[in-house]
Amino acid sequence: MRRKPGAILPLEASILETVIGLSRAGVEQFHGFQLAKQLRSDEGQRALTAHGTLYKALTRMEKAGLLDSVWEDPDIAVEEGRPRRRLYSVTSKGRVALAEVKAEMAGLSKLDPGLSGP
């Protein structure tokens, strides 16, 4: 089944929730592995999000304008002796999208108390 244009998938909502949480904690930019760890901790999962699932979601979210990303300054990576990181940050559109998802879920949970949002 094709997804509707502009629709947010549960994983994307979780990512937005997590990165907005990171942003509140003062972390404005994050890399893929950092996000996978944070997601595991926030969602109470046992395993880290799979490579394919994570990077596919991040690419899709960036294309949708929910996230922004840049390559890290190569000098920093060389100095720390590791590969360069792709650094993501949430956009204002991403914040609005998450707020809309939450509002929608709140509306649904009023109709059916069994439902709970991300």
Partner 1 sequence: MTGAETAVVRVVRSWARFYTRGLPVGDRERRRLELESDLWEHLHDPDEQVIARSVLGRFLRGIPADVRWRYRTLLDSRGARQRSHDMTTTTRFQWWTPTTVVIGVSLIALALLGLGFGETESGGWIIALGWLTAATVLLAGVAMLRWRPLIGSWTVIAGAVLLALAEPLAAPLSVVVIIGGLWSGGLVTSRRGAETTITLAPRQSALTERWYLWLVAAAALGAIGFIVLLVWPSVTPENCTEANPCWQDSAAWAAWILSWMAALVSGVIGLILGGLRMLVRHRTRLA
Looking at beta carbons only, is 6 or 83 nearer to partner 1? 83
44 in contact with partner 1 (CB under 8 A): no
**What are φ and ψ of residue 87, in 5° steps?**
-100, 125
Q: Quickly count: other Cβ atoms within 10 Å of residue 39's Cβ.
A: 19
31 in contact with partner 1 (CB under 8 A): yes
Torsion of CA 60, 40, 99, 28, to 10 degrees: -80
Going 65 to 90 to 30 to 60, the CA torsion angle's sign is negative
Within 51-80, which residues bind partner 1 (CB under 8 A)?
A: 51-56, 59
Interacting residue with partner 1 among 7, 9, 27, 50 (CB under 8 A): 50
Give contact residues for partner 1 (rule: CB under 8 A): 31-34, 36-37, 47-56, 59, 82-86
